Structure 1
Amino acid sequence: MSLKDVNPVDPARRRRIALVIANPSTSPVTGWPVGFWWSELTHPWHAFAERGYEVELFSPDGGRCEADAMSDPRDPGGYSAGDLISMGFIATPALVALVETTRPVAEITLDRFDAIVVAGGQSPMVSFEAATGLHAVFQAFHEAGKVACALCHGTAVLAFCRTPGGRPLVEGRTVTGFANVEEDFADRAVWDYGLLPRGTHLMAWRIEDRLKAQGANYVQGGLWRGFAVRDGNLITGQQNFSGGETAALVIDALGG
């Protein structure tokens, strides 16, 4: 099988990416509002735009989406203060307006796009189980041999995707996603700040545990290190610092 068979694309036209972010939700653990993560949208977008790709923004339900506060470079906590790529996106009216008016994933068509990229944030861990339309379109891209990509907690979508034979999509596949060591770090942080009782997990379930239970060969690059992996036309990125690495694999899979 050639790479062309793995991901059939037309070299004569611009590549097109369907980039999916999560709709707003509420954490069942904390009661806090949760959303998408800015860098997981903006860093891949920037990489694709530099290559001249067309990128269109979607969410499972469409409509206005909201980012997790810590991912905003303007947030007083300062966690993402150095994220200049996200700040540039936010400061560009035409781009930030797209987040206010995302299109529903039901409008993603296989014949228009070469790849689907699903960004993370905290909301996917809450909202993606019910996002059956997203499951279907992600599975369709994968089955068609087009690039199917998910990043950080966006890899939650993989837990609900199946092959045509009904097996877990990740069974026997090498994947990454938000690691247990990173969940442990996040848990300790909220405990230390007194935001949750010690022993309470910030996330109701964990990417690494779920994908391993479904037969995946889960790998990771270390705590908060940018890391992504490609297995055929399935591409996954570890966490919010992995947007560049993830986009690079998508670009490579599409022939540059």
Structure 2
Amino acid sequence: MNNVIRKRGQHSYPKKKILCLVSNTASLHGMEVGFFAEEMTRPFYDFIIAGYDVDVASPNGGAVKFDGHSNPENPAGAYPNDLISIGFVHHKEFGKWMQNTKPISEINVNDYDAVCVAGGGAPLITFKYDAKLHKLIADFYEAGKITCLICHGTSLLLWTRLSDGALLADGKTWTGFADSEEAMINQMFGMTVNEYTIETEARKNPNTTFEVAGALEPFAVRDGRLITAQQQHSSYLASQLVIEALSE
């Protein structure tokens, strides 16, 4: 007896506009770090396939770079089969954006339905003291927009405060890069890479619920308008949750 499996998907979605936000570059232990390739390009791809309009921005604007570790065209990188990121940088239009992202000073929250923030090596450095970026994320959330943060991009929940002074993370359930995964990075590089970790800092907040799956396991959480994803392997889960939320 044959087992017949039929699966249907959705082809057309309501028209939406998304802001993909990435970090500018920074120096970490003498290495130039940027954003994790797949954490921007996979959601970007999923949003384009859904028919959305997508912009790419960074706090300062201008040129941005993939982390060397995540760059599929880096011979020493770990993700040579990331075809989506390869396709993005070689696309005749999208690839140009890596050289000239919009600065957040030019972003009007009302132009967008959602924001999706990538992680990587730089966010723990560049996002921490960026009050304008914290306010932008708070503005997106308070304007009723879907707010999606991936991997180290979720560090924004450690600092982003709403207009009433409360942390956006207060009363929320969320995830982010786990201490177990930080330990793997430390072992890989033979040093303590980051001076603080998202999980350790999040657990200091008694008003929030921070959850993680096993190291490198795909895991994402939606709590109302807030969507968070644990690491790069969770990027596709994050974009699925964004598309589902925008289809409601």
TM-score in terms of structure 2 length = 0.91
Which amino acid counterpart does residue 229 of structure 2 have in structure 1?
G
Return structure 1 stretches of 4+ with deviation > 3 angstroms: none
Q: C-alpha deviations, 1:86-114, integer Å up to 9, x for none?
A: 11112213111101100011222122100
Identity of aligned residues (%): 36
Using the alignment, how far apart are the partners of 1:157 and 1:25 within structure 2?
Answer: 17
User: In 1, are the aligned partners of 2:18 and 2:114 still within 8 Å (CA)?
Assistant: yes
Q: Which residue does 1:228 correspond to in 2?
A: 220
Tell me what 1:95 maps to: 94
Taking the aligned partners of 1:189 and 1:80, their CA distance within structure 2 comes to: 15
Shift of 1:216: 2.0
Deviation at 1:162, TM superposition (A): 1.0
> Cα RMSD over matched residues?
1.4
Equivalent position amino acid for 1:253 in 2: A
Equivalent pairs counted in the alignment come to 235
Residue 75 of structure 1 deviates from its aligned partner by 1.2
- From 195, 200, 203, the equivalent of 1:204 is 195
Counterparts of 2:203 and 2:227, CA distance in 1? 16
Instruction: For structure 1, list consecutive stretches of 5 or more residues without a partner in the other structure.
Output: 1-11
Distance across 2 between alignment mates of 1:143 and 1:15: 18
User: Which residue identity is paired with 2:148?
Assistant: C
Tell me by how many angstroms 1:13 deviates.
Answer: 6.2
1:192-227: CA deviations, max 9, x gaps?
xxxx3xxxx211110111122223211112111111
Could you say which residue in structure 2 is the equivalent of 1:39? 38
Q: Which of 223, 237, 242 is residue 229 of structure 2 equivalent to?
A: 237
AA partner of residue 61 (structure 2): G
The code of the aligned residue for 1:17 comes to I
* Cα drift, residue 78 of structure 1: 4.1
Cα deviation, 1:157-187, whole Å, max 9, x if unaligned, reads 1111012221221122100010000001111
Distance in 1 separating the partners of 2:157 and 2:174: 10
Secondary structure of 1:150's aligned partner: strand
Residue of structure 2 equivalent to 1:255: 247
Query: Mind listing any 5+ residue stretches in structure 2 that lack a counterpart?
Result: 1-12
| Cα deviation digits, residues 57-95 of structure 1 (max 9, x gap) | 100010101111011111112410121111111221311
**Structure 2 CA distance for aligned equivalents of residues 212 and 61 of structure 1:** 30
- Structure 1 residues 98-149: Cα deviation after superposition (integer angstroms, max 9, x where no partner): 0110001122212210001111111001000222221111101111221011
TM-score by length of 1: 0.88
Which letter maps to 2:17?
A: R
- C-alpha distance in structure 1 between counterparts of 2:27 and 2:125, whole Å: 7
- Please give the per-residue CA displacement for 1:219-240, whole angstroms capped at 9, x wherever unaligned: 1121111111100101101111
Hey, what does 1:26 align to over in structure 2?
27
Residues in 2 aligned to 1:133 and 1:106: alpha-carbon distance in whole angstroms: 8
Question: Match of 2:109, SS?
Answer: coil
